[in-house]
Amino acid sequence: MRVIFLDLDRTLLGDDYSPKPARPVLKSLVSEGFEVVLNSSKTFAEQEYYRKAWGLEGPFIVENGSAVVIPEGYFPFDVQGVRRGGYIFIELGERYDRIKRILDHLAPEYGLRYYGNCTLDDVMAFTGLPENLAGLAMKRDYSETIFAWERPGFEELLSDRGLRVSRGSRFIGVTGSTDKGRAAVELLRLYSRLGRVESYAVGDGKNDFPLLDVVDHAFLVGALRHRRAKNISSIDELLEVVL
């Protein structure tokens, strides 16, 4: 079985966040028998939107490895986790409330701007997200995204409080002690109970590196380098290298 983990921002999605351009690639991967798993800093609500647009029905990984989300009944064996709304959540990250409390404390001194202290209009301005998607991005369960800051030095303070700070393709992500790779390993462990698994991953940012470290075949879109990853110019090139 072949499992492929895909990042969203600047991997499957361009600057307009439209699901349209990536649809043919995803269709091809699914029809070739790949299990397609979104693995992104985006929230459960945002990923539900894209999964629906692309007709994906399998597991996915939200908020930079904070939770593996598995539709109930997807695996033919019992999976341990929190059951909610037809899904099982394997929670690896930190509660959003705690992360927000820590950021709220540091925000005045460092001039931090993040979802939790922004209005819907602010979020649209920082991210370029259309109104519907900005609303979905604000429904956070396990992580924050720092859009802007006036002074450096806050990253160390967040690490001192047990949080993980990672550079995504656009902004700085703040999560509990987890990453996209750790979450992928958890999910691959479940897939391997079904048979031999060959794993793939595609990303574009530093926060994808832990994911590229743990798969059999790693790919990076763009110019960033990773010791195990093959560079491709765009997601459209992916089919040429994996099929």
Stretch that binds Mg ion, among 6-14, 109-117, 144-152, 187-195 (CB under 5 A): 6-14
63 binds Mg ion (CB under 5 A): no
CB 117 within 8 A of CB 101: no
Question: Alpha-carbon distance 153 to 170, whole Å?
Answer: 19
> Nearer to Mg ion by C-beta: 47 or 107?
47
CA distance 19 to 112: 30
Size of site (CB under 5 A) for Mg ion:
6
Cα dihedral 161/163/167/168 (nearest 10):
-150
Closer by beta carbon to Mg ion, 186 or else 204: 204
Helices (H) and strands (E) in the chain, counts: 9, 13
Q: What gap in Å lies between CA 99 and CA 149, rounded to an integer?
A: 17
Tokens of 157: 């303070």
The residues in 77-106 that bind Mg ion, with binding defined as CB under 5 A, are none
**What 3-state class would DSSP assign to 232?**
strand
Residue nearest to Mg ion (CB): 169
With binding defined as CB under 5 A, does residue 204 bind Mg ion? yes
First and final C-alpha spacing in the chain? 14
Smallest distance, Å, CB 78 to Mg ion?
33
Does 170 engage in binding with Mg ion (CB under 5 A)?
no
Our finding on whether 35 is near Mg ion (CB under 5 A) is: no
> Which of 10, 23, 98, 206 touches Mg ion by CB under 5 A?
10
Residue 7 annotated in active site: yes
Query: Which H or E element spans position 87?
Result: strand 87-91
The answer to whether 166 contacts Mg ion (rule: CB under 5 A) is no
186 binds Mg ion (CB under 5 A): no
Q: Would you say 7 or 35 has its CB closer to Mg ion?
A: 7
Q: Specify which residues 203 forms β-bridges with.
A: 220
* Closer CB to Mg ion, 81 or 222, in the complex: 222
Decide if residue 7 touches Mg ion (CB under 5 A): yes
The minimum distance between CB 21 and Mg ion, in angstroms, equals 15
Report phi then psi at 25, rounded to 5.
-65, -45
Active site residues: 7
Applying CB under 5 A, which residues contact Mg ion?
7, 9-10, 169, 204-205
